[in-house]
Amino acid sequence: MVSAVNRKPKWNRRSAIRSMTSVRTLNKIGWGLFRTALLFGVCFIILYPLLLRLTLAIRGTEDIWNPAVVWIPINYTLENFRLAMHIMDYQRVFFETLIFASVMTFIQALICAISGYSFARLRFRGQGIIFALVIFTLIVPPQTTIISRYMFFHTFWPLGGISLLNTYWPFFLSAITGMGIQTGLFIYLYRQFFRGMPKELEEAAMVDGAGIVMTFIKIILPNAVPILITVALFSFVWQWNDAYYATLFLTTATLISIRVLSVGAQMYIALGGIFVDPNEVSLVVNAAVMLTIAPLIIMYLFMQRYFIEGIERSGIVG
């Protein structure tokens, strides 16, 4: 008679499957919690400056020296936004910047699309070298060309004494000639996208008698809506936030990026030069920053789907 101690436990298939399923479920739950925590941490790092400025913008002056106020203000107020809009002349500056950024976005999106299509589909002598120079523009710091650009537009036509400073022509001419803000990146995105498009579309258009220009207008552009929107969003955001070239070429014209930089000084002048608490000024400055980036956030919320699609297709194909 075999004792109960030496008896081997009987293998139960159902119990084994159940234990394996429970282990997989625990692993899946643990991995999901880890990804959620990681995503939440990354989002907090990215959104931290925005949330901090928002809490400062709606904070009253009574909460400046209150140690109990860290994130959530006790005394809410919209006075900071009202004062910032008054100092910035927000309505006029907003529409002027909107028109300027929209025109620049249209020019850059069109010129970069033509350049990207040429690098992706056409073959010409020196193509590789020229494209390498286009990518090289992303590496060269803009500070290295600041003097040459300023002198070029300052004496644009020496014989006639024509200067293009304090006008928007330096921006327009730079975009038309492919030397605008981040033009090299836009051309690269277009090139990668167009290289992933089927060549059969162009061949069919050629058979029907369409030339390169008609193929580009009738076939390529209608199928490149995602990358067009992506480049347009990038260009609009950079033009909207640009203060480097705006302060270089403009001294009299007003753009929202220039106005938001001088809110503190304008607030001091508006109050008659009297002593102003720097902490109170910072509340108004943060309100001005929120007024500046609010249109961009709203625009991104509506165009998010096209933006992500364009980034995925331009990064995967080719």
276: tokens are: 């102003």
Amino acid letter, residue 166: N
Amino acid letter, residue 50: L
Is 236 part of any domain? yes
**Among 114-118, 190-194, 218-222, 309-313, which stretch is predicted with the lowest mean pLDDT?**
309-313
Is 147 part of any domain? yes
Same domain? 44 vs 94 = no
Is 65 part of any domain? no
Of 64, 85, 52, the C-alpha closest to 266 is 85
Highest mean pLDDT among 23-32, 160-169, 172-181, 276-285: 172-181
Highest mean pLDDT among 60-69, 155-164, 177-186: 177-186
Is 67 part of any domain? no
Same domain? 124 vs 272 = yes
Same domain? 155 vs 47 = no
CATH number of the structural domain spanning residue 160: 1.10.3720.10
What is the pTM assigned to this prediction? 0.80
State the total domains in the chain: 2
Same domain? 132 vs 224 = yes
Amino acid letter, residue 255: L
Same domain? 205 vs 308 = yes
Provide the mean pLDDT of the chain: 82
| Angle, vertex CA 95, rays to CA 168 and CA 171, nearest 5 | 20
pLDDT at 110: 92
Q: Are 59 and 77 in contact (CB under 8 A)?
A: yes
Q: Scanning the structure block, which residue is given the tokens 């010409």?
A: 124
Same domain? 132 vs 187 = yes
Same domain? 133 vs 169 = yes
The string of DSSP letters for 239-299 reads HHH--HHHHHH-SSS--HHHHHHTHHHHHHHHTTT----HHHHHHHHHHHHHHHHHHHHHH
Same domain? 38 vs 177 = no
The percentage of residues in the chain with a pLDDT greater than 90, rounded to a whole number, is: 12
Is 2 part of any domain? no
Say whether pLDDT at 244 is over 80. yes
Angle between helices 169-176 and 146-154 (to 10 degrees): 110
Same domain? 191 vs 303 = yes
Q: What average pLDDT does range 194-221 have in this prediction?
A: 85
Is 134 part of any domain? yes
Q: What average pLDDT does range 193-212 have in this prediction?
A: 84
Same domain? 53 vs 141 = no
- Host domain of residue 40: 13-57
Say whether pLDDT at 219 is over 50. yes
Confidence of residue 107 (pLDDT cuts 50, 70, 90): very high
Is 276 part of any domain? yes
Is 71 part of any domain? no
35: tokens are: 């990804």
pLDDT at 108: 93
Say whether pLDDT at 106 is over 90. yes
Count Cβ neighbours within 10 Å for each residue of 77-89 and write b for 16 or more, e otherwise: beebbebbbebbe
pLDDT at 200: 84
pLDDT at 100: 92
Residues whose CB falls within 8 Å of the CB of residue 107, separated by 6 or more in sequence, listed in order: 172, 175, 176, 180
What are the backbone dihedrals phi and psi of residue 110, each rounded to the nearest 5 degrees, phi first?
Answer: -75, -50
Count Cβ neighbours within 10 Å for each residue of 217-249 and write b for 16 or more, e otherwise: eebbeeebebbbbbbbbbbbbbbbbbeebbebb
What are the backbone dihedrals phi and psi of residue 157, each rounded to the nearest 5 degrees, phi first?
Answer: -135, 90
Same domain? 97 vs 21 = no
Same domain? 184 vs 49 = no
Rounded to an integer, what distance in angstroms lies between the CA atom of residue 57 and that of residue 49? Answer: 12
Rounded to an integer, what distance in angstroms lies between the CA atom of residue 189 and that of residue 197? Answer: 13
